[in-house]
Structure 1
Amino acid sequence: MNRLFSVILLIILAFPLMAQEISIIPKPAEMAVQNGQFKLDKNCTLKFDENNKDAARIAAFFNDYLDNLYGFKLSNNASENAVSLKIISSLDMGQEAYLLKVNKDGVVITASNPAGLFYGLQSLKQLLPVEAENGSLTIPCIDIKDKPRFAWRGNMLDVGRHYFPVSFIKKYIDILAMYKINTFHWHLTEDQGWRIEIKKYPLLTEISHWRDETLLGHFRSGQEKDGIGYGGFYTQDQCREIVRYAAERYITVVPEIEMPGHSSAALAAYPNLGCTGGPYKVQETWGVHKDVYCAGKDETFNFLKNVLDEVLDIFPSEFIHIGGDECPKDAWEQCDACQKRITDNGLENEHELQSWFITQIDHYLSSKGRRLIGWDEILEGGLAPEATVMSWRGTKGGIEAAKQKHDVVMSPNSHMYIDYYQSKNKDDEPLAIGGFLPVEKVYSYEPVPEELNADEVKHILGVQTNLWTEYVATTKKAEYMLLPRLQAQAEVGWTPKAEKDYADFSKRLENDYLRLTKLGINYRDHRKE
């Protein structure tokens, strides 16, 4: 009887911790749960340096979050129970590192940099219960010491195939920020639509943003179209607003302007930039199209440099993505100007011509103090001197680039392409491009290839998921395809390898779903797999 009583007592004592499990995503590097709880309510104080604009903004974010979800804000009423936000620049911490301590008297988040303070706040928000009880929020006492594993934790959204309004782009950025994603790769130009205003070339937003109709169903199953015109673009002011909005959430926006392939939309407006002079059209179907910029004409490079000048004025990011993928060489093979370019520069073939093309853009961006990044096809024919590679066709391109001492972002379609199906039974899922990528497979990815030595590993900047939108026409579906695979990628990019555990992550997701529902964010329940 005494033994049974002891077991029951242990269960009772453990219940408070069981009732509110720690569900932070991505999982912190170091975390220790302590005894006790702190109750947060409207009578608590929010302490921060009011002369520090970053701290003040982060504090406002927290109050807005409390108000939106729980109906109260914290004030500066000098209560002993407080949430304190501290930026101490003299501390020896990384730019994105933070300390979070919860005891019975309050919460303290400390960082040496505003980004770290912001990430500490994201963890605090995930420590809060989804529902308040009698107007208060019970937070378990805990010590967290946290920093990211990788510097580049990115996500790409394609708006070329389908356009999304500014309001959704902001919501999308908010979702990325929740999971400590720090890079928003914005794919702005495509065969099916040019989405950014370029003042020097007004036809890009008169002609190139608009296609006359769109393919119905999957591109492998037929060519029936909907007969409905489709378009949209972002003004330069709207782009600047997105850049500002993201920066306030410590996210860098990296724009992508595709070249030399995926250029049908631009050529529809400026056919002189193609090898044949056209006519060209904004494409209405998906896949790879043979309309590419002419590599033999100087006016092509004048156009692209002028476009990039305006892009650089809008986007202060270190990296500028130039695509470089899926560039058919058919037109170049038949083009006298391109063949002359090959001969004049002692190039061996059209693959080396593409490398020469990318190198011209690489030199131009370098002269402006920026860095070129492109998909792994830019390796073909020789890699431009300062180029960074985004490895998407598996990991081979990333390994090759790192061995050549070039920086790499790992983004293999096998694990990071979130336009793939989320179930083996495709009939249970909305239309997708193909493939099968469940949450567990995303989570299983290891960005550092075994083939690299210690010096080469330093060139692995991080990891990125990509949401291509051929079959993602609505904001609700975009969220469905994004979540929860984004959470899995976030943990791959942030959490130490030794701390990863899929069973534990899966359990934390269940609580995260409750929060997402309350925030009005759509997602796919991974338990359906």
Structure 2
Amino acid sequence: MSDRYALLVPAPRHAAAQPGSFTLDAGTLLHAEPEVTHLVRRLLHPLNLPLAPGSAPEGVLSVRVEDGGQAEGYRLRVSGDGISITATDLAGVRHAVQALKQLLTADAWRAAALPGRWEAPCGEIEDAPAVGWRGGMLDVSRHFMTKGAVLKYVDLLAMHRMNRLHLHLTDDQGWRVESRRHPAINRRSTHRPDTLIGHRRHSNDYDGTPHGGYYTLDDLAEISAYAAERGITVVPELDLPGHASALLAAFPELGTGSREVLGGWGVSAGVLKPIPAAVTLVCELLDEVLEAVDTPYVHLGGDECPTEDWPLDPEVSAHMAALGVTRARDMHGWFLREIAEHLATRGKRMIVWDEGFQSGGVRADSIVMCWRGDAIARQAAAAGYDVVRAPTYPTYFDYDQSTSPGEPLSIGGPITLEDAATFEVLPGAWSEEERGRVLGGQFQVWREYIPDDRHLDYMTFPRACAIAEAVWSGRPADFADLTRRLSEAHLARLEAAGCEYRPLDGPHPWQSGGTGRRARETNDPHRTRQNWLAWSAQLPPTDVHVSAVERTS
């Protein structure tokens, strides 16, 4: 039996193989406290382990929780007599079981147990994460993602010991959450007549096919509960006051710019007005979401919000005068702070993209999610704000994975697997105090050019494996060692779990862009690594201008 302790993803702090093995099968008894029993049987559901009566005999899987260690830490020991797990908390139990499954064959990741026995090699693992926020963002607005696909991604995140699922629920291209209080949203904001094909320069090339969908509040409650069982917190995002065209299709009187669900991409002129009526509407919508999703966090977006039309609107200009405000960008901060105050009454912390920090739209307890490079992230940390690191390079997975012409259409790039492995969630150049403000990091999958769930798998994995290792360990992954573990074991686990990942040597023929409308646009300079990093280093002001191609009725 190969040294499976050297094939874990993410790699643990300490792992050592020993001679021998233990047979884990449907006859193995589980010995644990009641609250732990349900959890372990869920995670090892194909085996349906029977419970051990009384004290733990030999030949069992024994699990116990002991206070006093590092949060989410665990110790896993496999001997010829059985398996023992000792964890600091329930999160540590979950991580230990995920590690145990990786010690088995790849078939342990299938939905049903195949005939035969699972041999767990003897050895020991001691492990704990370096940071507390380890996650992934899925854009379900640009292209809707079924509930079943979301649940699959919960399992994939848990497999990699991630603990945050950030759902980007709203944007110009669709509002993806039910409102029972404002049903006009369900009728008008959740679908678009067609979708742009190719990049923005093909401004008149639309597919003529309606696209839409939304999660009911019961769906969100189910997703939240399913994720919680697997140790994952759902972070819902309503991206406002910019990116609001879809919402304005139902409430045109509350916005400026476009007031229809858009089929094209980029920064839209559809923006909520920073007035009390708009704040009230958003708070009512958030209250509905929070009745469904059990979370301490709400992401308010706040990115890419054109403000030049606000002073031209009579309602906005009158409100600015009443507040004594002269700059439009200050109203951006006012809008976010008003909603943050409402969330605080419910015991929730607001998260904003880094533009919200620049416009002053944060409370002292707000979290700044930084996507425009290290400089602004460090600025927010130095100012005393908790930070989640989400820099475009190397955590944006809507970018090409190589420069090969066989890659399918994307927004730009590339961001390779090796690039993702360089992610430094705790930058060494920062001071100890600044690093102490870093909650963790995550990858982002924006879906303008990811139309279906199979392509989502291709764009996300195995790059997500590299980010998972970086945030678990607190340092960049060893690329050579990571690719060895992927090729020798982990890609087979992903395949057994039903994930259609990108092979290390390039796409399968059916994953490539071909020569049609999904072909990679190799001559498009949009968002290359060099021009993006140069732009982000300038720390542009919050005031942005519309750069998207829009169609209005």
TM-score between both structures, scaled by the size of structure 1: 0.89
2:308, 2:328 within 8 Å by CA — same for their partners in 1? no
Once the two structures are TM-superposed, the CA of residue 516 in structure 1 deviates from its matched residue by: 1.8
Counterpart in 2 of 1:317? Answer: 295
Whole-angstrom CA distance in 2 between matches of 1:224 and 1:299: 37
Counterpart in 2 of 1:183? Answer: 164
Letter in 1 for 2:171: E
2:392 corresponds to which of 407, 413, 426: 413
Structure 1 residues 347 and 526: CA distance shift in structure 2, 3 A: farther
Structure 1 residues 83 and 23: CA distance shift in structure 2, 3 A: farther
Point out the more displaced range, 124-133 or 225-234: 124-133
**Aligned positions of 1:76-225 closer than 5 A:** 76=51, 82-89=59-66, 91-130=67-106, 135-225=116-206
TM-score between both structures, scaled by the size of structure 2: 0.86
Once the two structures are TM-superposed, the CA of residue 524 in structure 1 deviates from its matched residue by: 0.5
Q: Does 1:326 align with 2:308?
A: no
| Structure 2 residues not aligned, in runs of 5+ | 109-113, 508-553
Once the two structures are TM-superposed, the CA of residue 442 in structure 1 deviates from its matched residue by: 0.8
Whole-angstrom CA distance in 1 between matches of 2:314 and 2:491: 58
1:434 corresponds to which of 409, 412, 422: 412
2:50 corresponds to which of 75, 85, 103: 75
Whole-angstrom CA distance in 2 between matches of 1:288 and 1:83: 57
User: Identity over aligned residues, as a percent?
Assistant: 36
Q: Does 1:502 align with 2:464?
A: no
Specify the SS of the correspondent of 1:429: coil
1:369-395 Cα shifts (integer Å, max 9, x gaps)? 111101111122324223211000112
1:215-253 Cα shifts (integer Å, max 9, x gaps)? 112223443111111110111111101101100101000
1:455 corresponds to which of 407, 411, 433: 433
Counterpart in 2 of 1:478? Answer: 456
Point out the more displaced range, 110-119 or 258-267: 110-119
Point out the more displaced range, 146-155 or 307-316: 307-316
Whole-angstrom CA distance in 2 between matches of 1:265 and 1:77: 55
Counterpart in 1 of 2:342? Answer: 364
Whole-angstrom CA distance in 1 between matches of 2:70 and 2:145: 35
Once the two structures are TM-superposed, the CA of residue 319 in structure 1 deviates from its matched residue by: 1.1
Once the two structures are TM-superposed, the CA of residue 337 in structure 1 deviates from its matched residue by: 2.6
1:22, 1:127 within 8 Å by CA — same for their partners in 2? no
Whole-angstrom CA distance in 2 between matches of 1:522 and 1:306: 39
2:31, 2:52 within 8 Å by CA — same for their partners in 1? no
Once the two structures are TM-superposed, the CA of residue 494 in structure 1 deviates from its matched residue by: 0.6
1:244 corresponds to which of 225, 246, 255: 225
2:20 corresponds to which of 36, 51, 61: 36
1:261 corresponds to which of 230, 233, 242: 242
Counterpart in 2 of 1:26? Answer: 10
Once the two structures are TM-superposed, the CA of residue 527 in structure 1 deviates from its matched residue by: 3.3
Q: Larger C-alpha radius of gyration, 1 or 2? A: 1
1:424 corresponds to which of 387, 391, 403: 403
Letter in 2 for 1:23: L
1:527 corresponds to which of 497, 502, 505: 505
Counterpart in 1 of 2:368? Answer: 389
Structure 1 residues 125 and 509: CA distance shift in structure 2, 3 A: same
Once the two structures are TM-superposed, the CA of residue 340 in structure 1 deviates from its matched residue by: 3.1
2:189, 2:261 within 8 Å by CA — same for their partners in 1? yes
1:200-223 Cα shifts (integer Å, max 9, x gaps)? 110111110011111112223443
2:5, 2:15 within 8 Å by CA — same for their partners in 1? no
Point out the more displaced range, 474-483 or 29-38: 29-38
1:399, 1:451 within 8 Å by CA — same for their partners in 2? no
Whole-angstrom CA distance in 2 between matches of 1:396 and 1:519: 38
Specify the SS of the correspondent of 1:428: coil
Whole-angstrom CA distance in 1 between matches of 2:36 and 2:65: 12
2:28, 2:61 within 8 Å by CA — same for their partners in 1? no
Q: How many equivalent pairs are there? A: 498
Whole-angstrom CA distance in 2 between matches of 1:134 and 1:379: 55
Counterpart in 1 of 2:524? Answer: none
Whole-angstrom CA distance in 2 between matches of 1:338 and 1:508: 57
Structure 1 residues 325 and 134: CA distance shift in structure 2, 3 A: closer
Once the two structures are TM-superposed, the CA of residue 33 in structure 1 deviates from its matched residue by: 2.1
Specify the SS of the correspondent of 2:44: helix
Whole-angstrom CA distance in 2 between matches of 1:74 and 1:479: 31
Letter in 1 for 2:339: I
Letter in 2 for 1:393: R
Letter in 1 for 2:124: D
Once the two structures are TM-superposed, the CA of residue 22 in structure 1 deviates from its matched residue by: 2.8
Q: Does 1:374 align with 2:352?
A: yes
Counterpart in 2 of 1:270? Answer: 251
Counterpart in 2 of 1:284? Answer: 263
Letter in 1 for 2:226: Y
1:15-63 Cα shifts (integer Å, max 9, x gaps)? x446x563111111122222332233344333333xx234323223214
| Structure 1 residues not aligned, in runs of 5+ | 1-15, 67-72
Once the two structures are TM-superposed, the CA of residue 195 in structure 1 deviates from its matched residue by: 0.6
Counterpart in 2 of 1:398? Answer: 377
Counterpart in 2 of 1:70? Answer: none
Whole-angstrom CA distance in 1 between matches of 2:438 and 2:328: 29
Structure 1 residues 34 and 262: CA distance shift in structure 2, 3 A: same
Whole-angstrom CA distance in 2 between matches of 1:21 and 1:381: 48
1:85, 1:117 within 8 Å by CA — same for their partners in 2? no
